[in-house]
Structure 1
């Protein structure tokens, strides 16, 4: 069964930029590190060479992962005139007196540090389909119940 990737237009663009960087700059940089490390002599005991080869493997794996995501992804734009939370919505919620702002995105572009939460996460999936002033409860990642009041929805 294939993974279903959901991306916002911004998420697709970010992945395309990362892919371009990896294919056109990082790949050449790592190749140069391997070439220089080979010049140090015996590669069987050469940590520089091993590190460069490991990095090359990680770069190639990430390139393959991004290509797969981009080839299988469904790009969704938040509807401009919706009063419900959808993928792409920026939602302001009150969580027990603390205001939080989340952007609902697909799992492939989720980044909690940037406030981008997956539509598949407990909080993200709980918010989907709700309107301003709705009170939503879910079990958070820590196992505790989380209750949120939706203050604002932007697209």
Structure 2
């Protein structure tokens, strides 16, 4: 079975969400279903149907998280010797050579990627171009509008 890379923080966030779903959300929706059943006729009971639908979403998310965690390969970047190269879990600052704009990204697993928080997936075009490169290297990233060149300004093992 294929393993998917995940940071320690990503695993903790998924485990926290799973715990919340199992200990808070699941019991709440079960209580809502029980209360709605007490109101009588289930065919026309909107509260009952809404609670059952919510239960389906919660159970589906629990299964999804458990599946992700069972296939996760958790990588602790702090345990890897700092080589100065961009690898999974590193934080890298790059400079667009055309615009001189600087941006910092953390290379994370697919499920942790969040561009608004500067967390890019290891399988994204930018991350694939950066992996294995060092500070000072220039990388070309193919984008829909052509090719953009970036210089790696800093690599951090945070």
TM-score w.r.t. structure 2 length?
Answer: 0.86
Q: 1:24 to 1:74 in 2, by over 3 A?
A: same
RMSD between aligned residues: 1.7
**Whole-Å separation in 1 of the counterparts to 2:16 and 2:138:** 38
Runs of 5+ consecutive residues of structure 2 not aligned to the other structure: none
Using the TM superposition, give the Cα deviation of residue 19 of structure 1 relative to its aligned residue in structure 2, in angstroms: 0.9
Total equivalences in the alignment: 152
Using the TM superposition, give the Cα deviation of residue 120 of structure 1 relative to its aligned residue in structure 2, in angstroms: 0.7
List per-residue Cα deviations over 1:98-132 (Å, max 9, x = no partner): 22111101112222222111101111111111111
Q: 2:153 aligns with which of 145, 151, 154?
A: 151
Task: Tell whether the 8 Å contact from 1:77 to 1:87 is kept in structure 2 after alignment.
Answer: no
Other-structure match for 1:47: 46
Other-structure match for 2:66: 67
Q: Which runs of 4+ in 1 moved over 6 A?
A: none
SS of 1:104 mapped into structure 2: strand
Matches within 5 A, 1:104-123: 104-123=107-126
SS of 1:100 mapped into structure 2: strand
SS of 2:43 mapped into structure 1: helix
Other-structure match for 2:88: 87
Runs of 5+ consecutive residues of structure 1 not aligned to the other structure: none
Q: 1:85 to 1:49 in 2, by over 3 A?
A: same
Is 2:100 aligned against 1:97?
Answer: yes
TM-score w.r.t. structure 1 length?
Answer: 0.88
**Whole-Å separation in 2 of the counterparts to 1:151 and 1:5:** 28
SS of 1:45 mapped into structure 2: coil
Using the TM superposition, give the Cα deviation of residue 3 of structure 1 relative to its aligned residue in structure 2, in angstroms: 4.3
Using the TM superposition, give the Cα deviation of residue 9 of structure 1 relative to its aligned residue in structure 2, in angstroms: 1.2
| Structure of higher CA gyration radius | 2
Task: Tell whether the 8 Å contact from 1:84 to 1:130 is kept in structure 2 after alignment.
Answer: yes
SS of 1:108 mapped into structure 2: helix
Other-structure match for 1:132: 135
**Whole-Å separation in 2 of the counterparts to 1:39 and 1:8:** 46
**Whole-Å separation in 2 of the counterparts to 1:149 and 1:48:** 57
